[in-house]
Chain A
Amino acid sequence: MKRPDWWRSDATAPFRLGPRMLPGRVWTASGCFGYGLAAHDFTAADCASPYAGLGAVVTKTVTPLPREGNPMPRLVETPCGALNSIGLENVGFDAFLTTVLPELEARGVPTIVSLAATTPEDFGPMVRRLHDAASGFRHWHGVELNLSCPNVAEGGHDFGSSPATVARCVAAARADLPDRALLAKLTPNTADIAQLAVAARDAGVDAVSAINTVVGLDVDLRTGQPYLPRRFGGYSGAAILPIALAKVDQIVRGTGVPVVGVGGIATVEDALKFFALGAVAVQVGTAQMRDPFAAARVAAALGQWSSS
């Protein structure tokens, strides 16, 4: 597409987010690009690398201990999106810190580490150890708190739907993260997402990421049962783009809290809609699963306008 008249920014230029300069405004979303290492040798005719122009790779969410995740099947494709119930399968914080993060640093991948925990107080020790182990890393730019994964419930409630719990998580992480960006990823499965954003800002985040997946369910008509063993999954992909735009708008207009827009972005047009509403950056998620170059293509399309 041609550059819209209202678009004046350069999404591939460095920008400040809290205490940190990020290399660009197009990122990959957590859970959709692994730890950011699986595609390091991939090539394409029309794009230099899956990492070209990216401001950050937000890693797959890491938890204090390794997790095996949920039973199969874990994915259901729908006509305009997908349901997932992966269950935060990950290598655990220790292995991430000793093997994954150093490799991301060595490869020069701009990294934001996604963390989840079962209590707010668990975030503090992880962030402290990150800070101690990686304070000299040039490419580790920050932490995104995954407060909204609908597959890991605490007491039957969504972990991140309470403003008070969000504030406790953010405060626990902020105390030990003085020089990197801190983000909280918010759930859309709540009546008032703006309230969550305000709680996160007041407790110290530099921005909120909105949105995580929408709770969904699909039924296998051959059995009359839900496809997913845990019944519900996180709905993502093209179908949730208008939901994400509405939530971002509620936060930006209602609170002024800086927002990183995420939800259904596959193209530069999708990304521009979030920027038009005032998002400071965007994340490409589900589209990254079918095209490892999806975010890089969005960044390239935005970047060409900076020199034109």
Chain B
Amino acid sequence: MTGRPAAVAAFGKVIANELVSSAFHRLDVVLDVPFAFLPGQFVMINEPGPRAWTFSRPFSILAGDGDTVALLYRVVGRGTAALAALGPGSPVSVLGPLGEPFPAPAEGQVTVLLGGGVGLPPVFAWWRRWGQPGDAACFGARHAGEVPWGLLGDTWRVSVDDPAGLAAGHRAASGVVTSLVADDAELPDGPRVVTLACGPWPLLRAAAALARRRGWRCWVSLEEHMGCGYGVCKGCVVRVADGGHERNATCCQDGPVFDAERLPGLVGSDLPTCGDGPTGAKGGCA
């Protein structure tokens, strides 16, 4: 929790709000109060004034240069539908940066980045800030049309559940995103490799299982329903292991990034999935 930048309650104006694939929108906002962020942090977005939703919506930060912030989202509910309708110049309120970021790289670290669907932003932001040539940046989607090819460029490995419709010049493996690195012999076994993952629960579970098998460290960014985003409402608790016991932690303030080994729920069976609830879910799922 130390070293996080203080949050700003900023007002922004939409610069651009466009589809970057068949499923994902990219929202770019210019801020009245600039702020720096750390990869893995998120913002709470709302419409200012009487049109405000009761709860703001959480979105991981995809990119930002201080004066602007960029988000990625999929339309899955009332909030994101309203968001998709905002044109350039529309006002938005932006509270952020919030939450615990992914750890910065240690000396000699090799990093495996695993982003699934709208879980791409936090790992994308980490890769942009700290990525090295030996790292493995991987993105998984349901089908080729969902992939934001322009954003990922040539360095990202891509997997899709259904490879039908893959355009010429685009390369994607068939299967889940973890399969892109599961048996990659160039990645050493052991804790020098650190996995950073964000996406739906099955992806996080697969990432944690793979990391265990190969002795890698694993950090996951959770998507959870949130009310406030800054730790006051206790509406987004997750169970974490703490010295042989379990306790509640807030996804918004103690997380959203957690050490996978501290999340008993990652190896459980009854897990929520992205966007299955009535409120926002970080990553753009509301």
Contacts and interface: CB of A to CB of B under 8 A. Distances in A.
B7 interface: yes
B227 interface: yes
Nearest to B231: A38
Interface string B35-67: 000000000101000001111100000000000
Interface in B7-54: 7-11, 32-33, 44, 46, 52-54
A75 B230 contact: no
B253 A38 contact: yes
A293 B236 CA distance: 21
Interface residues of A, number: 42
Interface in B196-245: 225, 227-228, 230-237
A146 interface: no
B231 A290 contact: no
B8 A220 contact: no
Interface string A16-37: 0000000000000001111000
Contacts, number: 119
Interface string A66-88: 00110011111111111010100
B225 A75 contact: yes
Contacts of B232: 32-34, 38-39, 60, 288-289, 292
Chain B interface: which size bin?
Answer: 35 or more
Given A76-B278, A290-B44, A45 B10 contact: yes
A77 B95 CA distance: 19
Contacts of B228: 32, 288-290, 292
Contact of A292 (B33, B95, B253): B95
Contacts of A154: none
B206 to A, nearest CB: 22
B248 interface: yes
A43 interface: yes
B54 A81 contact: yes
Interface in A284-308: 286, 288-293
B139 to A, nearest CB: 28
9 contacts: A34-B233, A38-B230, A38-B253, A43-B33, A73-B279, A74-B235, A75-B279, A76-B278, A89-B234
Interface of B: 6-11, 32-33, 44, 46, 52-56, 78, 93, 95, 225, 227-228, 230-237, 247-248, 253, 272, 277-279
Interface of A: 31-34, 38-39, 41-45, 47, 60, 68-69, 72-82, 84, 86, 89, 218, 220, 227, 237-238, 266, 286, 288-293
